[in-house]
């Protein structure tokens, strides 16, 4: 049948029709029938695809066919077909938190929001771990918002933000989602105002600083967020979390001058911090402070314990400089690597690319 279809022979049409009658329980035949009907713009073509999914025993193939059905189902009867398959999967035994989450994400992706919420309740009942628990709440909030319950979704996210730590890696994402769910500028300003009051009342409270900065960043006030964090580093100089957030936002802003000033100030306070000095080296190169960057980089290398570490750092910086179009400076570092290890043909190639 496939060969005849590729050759565009009319016999293929007759053969596929006969095959469906002769092999009514064969999923591949029904899938080929779907392709045949779809090619002829048959409005009921997805009936054949649905039948193929029902009959198919191989999970990977069944899943791939279901994806086609979900992509093409549109509205009306075809969408009801897709929903029936999703419900069937949900009701099947043996689910884990992970399989239910994946199913709910698929439901959400294809706008089966109520079904996604019900599936997420099932996942929550299986005692998920911390990461999965956060994803269940985030996806539930998105589904609620899509169904029009933005207030309920916001309350769900607020409760989640209260539970997760200030250093949780998805906190900024969740905070941004919470801000986006607010229905008016007045609500956003209220939330920001409340966070600012908490921050100003206790500027030495790390959580209050991070919360206010995160809300500013999520509200697109990114320069102000950076200003708050940079200032907080003076008040709480030993807070690794505040320093990390300040560096992250300054780098995202792309303000090389501000980043260089911040790193310079931090090194004056902590001159032994080789990690900060290396960041300063890259920042200085980007500002055209080549001599200064070179001197600082020699200090970075001097603090490393082995030639292997020094070679790795030389190569890392050389590649960074090559990516930022500082080819002359990159070539000098590639050459130093080759002096240490002449057999590095990969480095010879990278050096040639700088010319």
Given this model, what pLDDT does residue 36 score? 77
Mean pLDDT calculated for residue range 165-180? 83
What is the tens place of the pLDDT at every residue in 302-317? 999 999 999 999 999 9
Give the CA count within 13 Å in the CB-facing half-sphere of 45. Answer: 18
Q: 0.75 cut: is pTM over it? A: no
Given this model, what pLDDT does residue 270 score? 96
Given this model, what pLDDT does residue 39 score? 78
The tokens describing 329, both together, are 């400076």
pLDDT at 2 over 80: no
pLDDT at 9 over 70: no
pLDDT tier, 103 (very low <50, low <70, confident <90, very high otherwise): very high
Mean pLDDT calculated for residue range 126-149? 95
Of 5-14, 281-290, 303-312, where does mean pLDDT reach its minimum?
5-14
pLDDT at 3 over 60: no
What is the tens place of the pLDDT at every residue in 62-88? 999 999 999 999 888 889 999 999 999
Quick one: which of 77, 146, 157, 137 has its CA closest to 109? 146
The tokens describing 100, both together, are 């239910």
What is the tens place of the pLDDT at every residue in 212-241? 998 898 888 999 999 999 999 999 999 999
Given this model, what pLDDT does residue 183 score? 60
pLDDT tier, 162 (very low <50, low <70, confident <90, very high otherwise): confident
């Amino acid at each position: 049948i496939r060969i005849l279809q590729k050759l565009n022979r009319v016999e293929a049409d007759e053969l596929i029709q006969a095959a469906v009658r002769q092999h009514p329980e064969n999923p591949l035949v029904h899938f080929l029938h779907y392709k045949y009907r779809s090619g002829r713009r048959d409005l009921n073509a997805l009936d054949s695809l649905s039948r193929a999914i029902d009959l198919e025993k191989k999970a990977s193939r069944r899943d791939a066919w279901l994806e086609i059905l979900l992509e093409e189902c549109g509205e009306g009867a075809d969408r009801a077909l897709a929903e029936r398959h999703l419900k069937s999967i949900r009701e099947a035994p043996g689910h884990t938190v992970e399989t239910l989450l994946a199913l709910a994400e698929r439901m959400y992706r294809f706008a089966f929001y109520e079904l996604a919420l019900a599936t997420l309740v099932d996942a929550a009942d299986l005692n998920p771990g911390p990461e999965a628990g956060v994803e269940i709440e985030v996806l539930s909030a998105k589904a609620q918002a899509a169904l029009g319950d933005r207030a309920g979704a916001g309350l769900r996210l607020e409760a989640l933000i209260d539970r997760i730590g200030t250093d949780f890696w998805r906190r900024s994402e969740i905070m941004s989602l919470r801000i986006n769910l607010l229905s008016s500028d007045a609500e956003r300003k209220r939330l920001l105002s409340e966070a600012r009051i908490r921050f100003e009342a206790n500027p030495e409270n790390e959580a209050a600083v991070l919360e206010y900065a995160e809300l500013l960043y999520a509200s697109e006030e990114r320069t102000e967020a950076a200003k708050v964090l940079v200032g907080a580093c003076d008040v709480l100089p030993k807070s690794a979390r505040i320093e990390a957030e300040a560096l992250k936002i300054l780098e995202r802003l792309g303000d090389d001058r501000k980043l260089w000033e911040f790193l310079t100030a931090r090194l004056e306070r902590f001159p032994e911090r080789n990690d900060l000095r290396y960041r300063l080296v890259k920042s200085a190169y980007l500002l055209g402070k080549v001599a200064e960057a070179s001197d600082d980089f020699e200090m970075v290398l001097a603090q490393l314990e082995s030639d292997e570490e020094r070679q790795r750092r030389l190569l890392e910086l050389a590649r960074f400089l090559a990516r930022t179009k500082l080819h002359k400076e990159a070539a000098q570092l590639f050459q130093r690597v080759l002096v240490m290890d002449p057999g590095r043909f990969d480095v010879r190639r990278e050096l040639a690319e700088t010319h």
